[in-house]
């Protein structure tokens, strides 16, 4: 149910972006979902629907999964995150705090925990589309 | 592209009356012991208190307070467990007893994540045990928690106070309130009062080096009977 906390952040940020851009009605909200965090899409979508404000009542939420990718800072190895390769304990820790990847995952080549998460870390608001007064 | 976490951080802390960062320029000055015992003493005085260990690479308050076998509840976010009368949050719930080798930007991201998902209940005080220095954690709490106040800890050593003095300068320049400075682990004589006052901060008091404190770590009842704890209680009314 931690997805509810994420959904709250998405809705609040979308409202702020809409205000900044002078949108009176939000029609579409695109959200990048980094697979490293292993967010439950269905729960997140349900939470978004429950939390949406009147300005976004007809808006479409688009969840875009982004594969988690790593690059080792020591040997340069690049590899993709495969959820099935981490155990339940690690998976849960990374779900709540994606940086816990450095605790539980090592470079597949040299074994270092010193790597960049180059893509697919967590939840990110990609775009908010809508209608302005004169549209 | 927008980070959806930032927007909700203030809301997560809206039921907290006072937020105090226990901070120092140097490690090893007793900051975590002060943060832990301050939390216990405020709780003993009837206040509702949370303790948040923000030292993500070297957390230690769980060792000081003997906290183990607890985990946050998950309910529309994370609810810090009630441990020994305190609402408690630490990265140890996720890293367990493993090392967490994080670079600066990763520490920052982890702090933002935890602040964004942790739902603090009504608290009179939230005490934050800061990592040493003016790095990512300090800059993040300044950026993300504008109403935070700083409580500085230094030993009498010139080396330790020099780093605290710089932090005081930084905070004053940013108009962040500093509650004052505690002179901790005093072995021979007090050295800091005049320097702290010259630097425009309040000298809150001193705590002598307590040779038996080590034996009491991990046991709250023993901790509360130490000379260190007794001296801290005299300082608490300034806070």
Percent of chain A with pLDDT over 70: 97
Does pLDDT of A133 surpass 90?
Answer: no
**Helix, strand, coil percentages, rounded to 5, for chain B:** 40, 25, 40
pLDDT at B239: 82
* Distance of residue A103 Cα from the nearest chain B Cα, in angstroms: 5
| Residue % of chain B over a pLDDT of 70 | 100
Q: pLDDT for A45-54, tens place per residue?
A: 999 999 999 9
Angle at which helix A2-20 crosses helix A41-51, to 10 degrees, equals 50
Which architecture does CATH list for A68-118?
Answer: Single Sheet (2.20)
Tell me what the mean pLDDT of segment A77-91 comes to. Answer: 95
Mean pLDDT across chain A: 95
SS3 assignment, position B109: helix
Any domain includes B220? yes
The arithmetic mean of pLDDT across residues A16-26, rounded, is 95
CB contact under 8 A, B114 and A124: no
pLDDT at residue number A1: 58
ipTM of predicted complex? 0.92
CB atoms inside a 10 Å sphere around CB B90: 24
Of B74, B75, B106, the CB nearest to A102: B106
Task: pLDDT band for B237, please (50, 70, 90 cuts).
Answer: confident
Query: How many cross-chain Cβ pairs, A to B, lie less than 8 Å apart?
Result: 103
- Tokens for B156? 């009498």
Q: Is residue B1 part of a domain?
A: no
- What are the structural domain ranges in chain A? 1-67+120-135, 68-118
Task: Give the domain CATH number at B127.
Answer: 3.40.50.300
Give a yes or no: residue B93 inside a domain: yes
- Across residues A42-67, what is the average pLDDT? 96
Q: What is the pLDDT of residue B238?
A: 81
Does residue A52 contact residue A13 with C-beta atoms inside 8 Å? no
Q: Which CATH number fits domain A1-67+120-135: 3.90.1150.10, 1.10.10.10, 3.30.930.10, 3.30.2320.50?
A: 3.30.2320.50
Write the CA distances from B203 to B37, B139, B154, B168, integer angstroms. Answer: 19, 24, 11, 12
The verdict on a CB contact (< 8 Å) between A96 and B117 is: yes
- Taking a C-beta distance cutoff of 8 angstroms, is the pair B137, B31 a contact? no
Q: Total domain count for chain B?
A: 1
Q: Which tens digits make up the pLDDT trace of B87-119? A: 999 999 999 999 999 999 999 999 999 999 999
pLDDT in tens, B116-173: 999 999 999 999 999 999 999 999 999 999 999 999 999 999 999 999 999 999 999 9
pLDDT-derived band at A135, boundaries 50, 70, 90: low
Instruction: Catalogue the E-assigned strands of chain B.
Output: 16-23, 49-53, 73-74, 78-79, 82-83, 86-90, 123-129, 149-154, 178-186, 203-208
Q: Domain limits at B181? A: 6-236
**In 3D, which of A95, A78, A77 has the Cα closest to residue A86?**
A95
> Is B137 domain-assigned?
yes
Q: Which of B229, B184, B238 is nearest to B39 (CA)?
A: B229
In this structure, is residue B127 part of a structural domain?
yes
């Amino acid at each position: 149910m931690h997805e509810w906390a994420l959904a709250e952040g998405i809705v609040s940020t979308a409202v702020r972006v809409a205000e900044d851009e002078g949108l009176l009605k939000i029609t579409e909200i695109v959200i990048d979902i980094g697979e490293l965090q292993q967010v439950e899409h269905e729960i997140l979508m349900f939470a978004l629907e429950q939390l949406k404000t009147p300005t976004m009542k007809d808006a479409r939420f688009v969840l875009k999964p982004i594969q988690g990718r790593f690059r080792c800072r020591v040997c340069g190895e690049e590899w993709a995150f495969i959820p099935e390769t981490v155990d339940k304990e690690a998976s849960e820790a990374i779900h709540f705090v994606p940086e816990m990847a450095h605790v539980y995952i090592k470079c597949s080549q040299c074994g270092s925990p010193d790597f960049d998460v180059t893509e697919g870390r967590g939840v990110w608001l990609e775009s908010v589309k809508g209608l302005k007064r004169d549209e | 592209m927008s980070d959806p976490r930032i927007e909700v951080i203030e809301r997560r802390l809206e039921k907290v009356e006072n937020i105090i960062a226990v901070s120092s320029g140097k490690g090893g000055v007793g900051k975590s012991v002060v943060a832990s015992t301050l939390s216990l003493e405020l709780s003993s005085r009837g206040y509702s208190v949370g303790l948040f260990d923000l030292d993500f690479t070297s957390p230690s308050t769980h060792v000081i307070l003997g906290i183990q076998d607890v985990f946050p509840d998950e309910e529309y976010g994370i609810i810090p467990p009630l441990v020994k009368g305190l609402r408690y949050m630490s990265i140890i719930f996720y890293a367990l007893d493993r090392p967490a080798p994080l670079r600066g930007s990763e520490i920052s991201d982890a702090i933002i994540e935890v602040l964004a998902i942790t739902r603090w209940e009504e608290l009179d005080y939230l005490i934050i045990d800061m990592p040493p220095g003016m790095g990512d954690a300090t800059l993040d709490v300044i950026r993300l928690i504008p109403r935070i106040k700083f409580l500085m800890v230094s030993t009498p050593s010139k080396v330790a106070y020099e780093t605290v003095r710089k932090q005081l300068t930084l905070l004053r320049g940013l108009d962040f309130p500093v509650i004052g400075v505690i002179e901790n682990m005093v072995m021979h004589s007090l050295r800091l009062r005049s320097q702290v006052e010259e630097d425009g901060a309040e000298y809150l008091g001193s705590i002598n080096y307590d040779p038996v404190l080590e034996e009491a770590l991990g046991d709250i009842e023993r901790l509360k009977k130490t000379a260190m704890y007794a001296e801290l209680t005299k300082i608490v009314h300034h806070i």
